[in-house]
Each structure stands twice: as structure tokens, then as C-alpha cells.
Structure 1
């Protein structure tokens, strides 16, 4: 069977699973209606002129089956000012959320509500006719929705679904800090720019960091200008804001993974790229055997976490992960790999694959070259008679061998996690 025919049939099979069902659409409409009714009722009570709109992939009809995220914007008069937007907007958002929600803050405060199994971001914003001056991500969002809706036909909506499904299956979908991948809006712009799912994959298979610049709305006459301006692995100029790179949150790692997956899929198309088998949990015995074969050791630190917005949580977790790795390296451990996990409710776990979990008590510490005056004297005074060995000259360098305070990786991590 020709590859083109085979790929066409594969796409049709995948799309039957990616398109939201009639029942899913009905449930989303019910959630949106509930939020809208609550918001309008609270606005009437406060005497505020309010317009409620659905934004994001739901509004653009590019969402895929199983998506549980809904974006509802509360558009308020600009005359309220920043303080009024936050105070009045949050009052309305809390009322619209009902009982189960958390309050979050990006460039504007917003409410993340949990309603009938859906995560609903309820976002107060200004009602704007056009973007001008300093604008925020919240300000841009309704204009993103309008731009995409005006350019996507039914075929391209399905092409976007295919690209999103492919990226989800490959683990590169989502611009949130946890993933650092491709946002839904970026997927839509890639399909618009290249003309479809396959076309986007063909282009991505040849991407090189720092060389790709897309300008869907034609803001720039010379693409060297945005390349120099943004200086990031992938540049996609925002159609509604020429000063913004839509791909700014994309990490080099996720760009590389998507490019590689695109090449592999085009060489041998398979539904497994869209729906990979779920990972299997290793038993304790299997994990021990794997580590024995690799000749490495695993160390993990479990810490409690509070419930908060995922972006805030994962920003903190990744920062802590880097800090712990630096600590281990400074103590003398060889870190081969690292990772972080959290249920985003109560607990987080940091894991490290190490060459060794215990170090010798003896530690080699380099000092200054001889004849360096005060530096030489200070080093000798600090180490003379205190170390396990040295100080002594090794070639043209003073070296001493002090005793390590901590030699076990568990001691290091427990001290830091205490």
C-alpha cells in the first residue's frame, strides 16, 4: 500500500479518537453555562458591566477528546483600573467558581476552579477593542482566539488536532513550566504557517536551533530582525504582538525531541506516536536488577508540598532540583541523571541516579601555587595539623586532604530536606 494512502487512513483512524464526542461537547457547554450564570449574577449584584467569553482551544474548536481544561474570561470595563480589576474581578471569579478552587497569580490574578471533573481557569481581564502599549498574556488571549478562528476551516481544525495529539503522545505538548513544550496556540500557528499536520512534521524534521523564524502575520520585512531580537531556538512571531515570540517557553530539549519524533514518524507512520502504551511501574526487584546492570545507585528525597498553581509549584520544584544537584556535585558525588515528580497536592519527590552513594572520608582540596604570599600563608595555616593528609606540594601547587563532613548521599539529602 502506498505510504500516502496508508498515512491518510492512519490519520482518519486517529482523528476518530481525537475529535470530541457530542457528549463531551455537551458537558463542556454545561460547565461554561454554569460559570457564566454565576459570574453574571455576581456582576449584577455588584452593579458591574460584565461580558463573559470562552477562550482558548474550546472557543477555537481545536481541542481534543479528553481535554479537561476550560478558559473563561471575565471582561470588565477598563475604567475600573488595575486595583478595581483585581478586587471586583476576583470577587466575580470566586462566585463563578463555586466551592472548589485555588487563587493564582500570573500577570493578573485569576481563579482555577474544579467543576464536574474540569479545570476551569476563570480570568478577569479588561474589555479591549485593540492592543496598544504594554500588554499582558491575558490581554492578548481574546485576540489570539479571534485571529485563529478567522483563519481555520474544518480541515485545518482537524490538522491542529492531529498535531496536538502527536505532540501529546511524544511528551512535548504544553508550554507550562512542568513541560516546557509547545502551547496549543503555537500548534495552531505551525499548522497555519506550514499548511497542515504532515507539512509541519516535514518542516520540523529539518529544524535547527536558532535558524527557524516564522512570522504568520508578516510583521517583519526581514526575518533576520526577529531572529536577532528574540535569539531563541525557535521563533514564531505572535500575529497580535510583534514584540512577542510565541515559542519563548519552548526548551531546546523539547524542540529536539519533537524534531526527532517527526523524522521517525515520517519514516514509519504509526498510531503509537499518538497513543503510546502507558509506562509500567517497576517492581522493587526489577528496579534493583536494572540498577545492578547499570552499575549505578538511586537516591530519592520526598518532601511535602502545599496545593498551589502548577506553574508556581513546578517552578519551585525545578529550582530545588537544580539546587540539590549542585549540592551533591559540590560534595563530590557524580550525578548521572535527575528528575522531579509531584502529585501536585501533597508530596513531591526528587530522584538522582548516582555513580556512588558513599564517598571516601578523604577529600582532595587544591590550594594556591607556592610563592603567592598571603594566599599561600592562609592556606597553610587553615590546613596545617587539621587534615587527614597534607598540606603538601604536588608539583607547583599546594594540596591538602581534609576530612569530609558527610560521606553518605542520604545524609546530604536529609540535611537539605529537613
Structure 2
């Protein structure tokens, strides 16, 4: 079977590409970066797709030639630059599904989300539900799968939960009683492959969940013990405090928290696993048993502990560069700044140009870091700037190397910290 899978560069999509190839299917892997996907999955046929723009069925017709089945796995938990719920969850899938009708695609599998039902309130769930309902009204052999939180190696949600569990004191919204029913990625993959079989039921909405609900507190305790850090040490945070805190943190780029995600957590995320077992013959594995099958490694502990420090490192470096710009623009006496420029051979117009040019560069670098724009490239420029500043000071003001406050020597650990940021930002 020739299968087009969208979102092939993501966690779920990537796992399904491997599963489909392993089952002998031909895979057309739709993603934003075909070159990177080709390196990760050499057996797949990479295809450039962009759900933020591909909202016309005509954009999909040529891509569907010779395709027997389509699996849509595209999804985001939070909106970002160029990533909007309505575009990615509704507009592009609707265009894809309509094109599938015209192309007479044999099977369509939609990876929706548990909670995208009649009681949905969040934009995440509402946009997923809109695409589900559109697909259900089309003359296609369709299956809608609604997975709970998916865990396993490489899962973004697992990374966040592990980071929370690794904290010395873990905040527990509402005491950590919110029920969750996570499903392992391999169980989800098995259900998707089964849904492509000729005998698989069609025209059904099936929830994909683990064998039993777990309160958030137990889930986090499981992750902490898996990391080898002992039992969870949690502190209850009322939802009345958690929601405004998440709303504030949601203003910062890169964080998965928002008032909407907290509301989704409070609602819970559970369902009966029996329909999944009956439809696909997949008995979901227990969360604790699945963790025991794959013990944590040193890299897992490092990642869990660095996960929340990474944005703090980026923001602190960004604020440092912004503060440096403000100091150059007047917080430090301008005549003293010009005197230092003169010691480097920059006088008159050149002194003013160096002062304000350096301040503008520092400010631009700081803002770029704070908003998370091209972090690795910006960090490279920052390292270059620190090396240049240090070299100029070494030539014109070498005595500053011996200053008791270490204004130049501090560049050395800052360069190392920036290199660490570049490594942690690598995708």
C-alpha cells in the first residue's frame, strides 16, 4: 500500500513512518523539511507540505496521485509564529480530505485528540473537532483516532512532564488530581497500522488510551522514579493561582504552558480502552510497566534537568545584552563611554558611531534571544561580538583584564554558556 503521512517530521509521524516501512508499505512522508526527513528515514519518499498555507484542495491533488491511504498526524498544543490552530488543525486537513474524495483515496486516518468531542471548549480541541466532523461527512473510508497524551522516546509531552518531575519541588495544579490516561507510542502505531487493514472497521471514531486513568500526581511520580530521583516531592497549587501564572508564562515563547492548556488538564483526559481493543486488537500497556521496560539513562536525567533551564539561560542572556545596550545609551555617563572609545583609537564621529552602533547591536541581539528568533545564528553573532570586544579591550585597555570585578574575564564563561545554548537549541 502506498501511504501518504502528513506531519512525518513530528514525534508521532516519525514513529508511524518507521512502522509503515517495517510493515512493507511505501511511504510518502509529508513534512516541512524534506532534506532532514530523508536523512532520518532513507526508505521514505519525502514530500514538502506546509499546513500553514496548503488550504486549497488543488494544492493536494498532484500529491495524492497513486496514494492508497492518507494518515494525518499534524497537531500543535500551543500556537506560535506561523502556527495557528485553525490553519493546522482545520483548514489544511479539510482541504486534504476534500482532495482525497476527488482522488478516490481508499482510506483516510485522522489523528485527532481525546477531548475533541461535544464538550470541547479549548481552541485546540474545537479546531480538531471541526476537521473530524468534516471528514465524517465525506464519502470516504475514514477512521478518526483520538489519542490521549502519547508518551515514549522523543515525546514532547513526556519531556515536559519529566522536567516537572525532576524539580526539587514539583507544582501540582489542584493537588495533582487531574486524571490522565497516557498511551504508549508503540500502541498508537499498532492501532494506526491495524486501521489500514482491509478488515478494519471504517466510519468509526475510536479513542486511544492506556489501560487505566492516572492522576497527574501518580504520573509525575512515575517519571521521577524512572529518572532515579526517588519519590515525587510536590506542592499543591490551586487552579486559581495556576491559571493566571500560566497565562503570564504563556507570554514567553517556547513554553508549553498557557491558560488553555491548564484548563485542558483540569478537565481530565480519560476514556474507556475497550473500544480500541475490540477495533484493533491492541491491548495498551501499563504506564509503569512500559517505563520499566526501558530504564532511564544518564542522558535522560540530563535532559530532564536542563529542559526548564534552557529557556532561563536564553532569557537571562537576552536580558544581559539588553542591559548592556541600555548602559551604553546613557545609564553609564556618555563622556566616560566616549573616553573609553578614544582609548581604542575611536574619537569624534567614530567614537559616537562605535558607541551607538555597539548599543544597537547589543539591543538587537538581546531582543532576538528573548523572542527566540534564529537562536543558534544569533548566538553565533554574540560569540563573535564578545570575542571582538575582548580583543579590542586587550589592545587598548589591557589593564581591564586585571580589574577586580572581571569585566573582561567574565566573557569567557559567557561564551561557554552561549555555546551550551546553541547545543541545546539544536533541532
TM superposition score normalised by structure 2: 0.26
Higher-Rg structure is 1
Greater strand content: 1
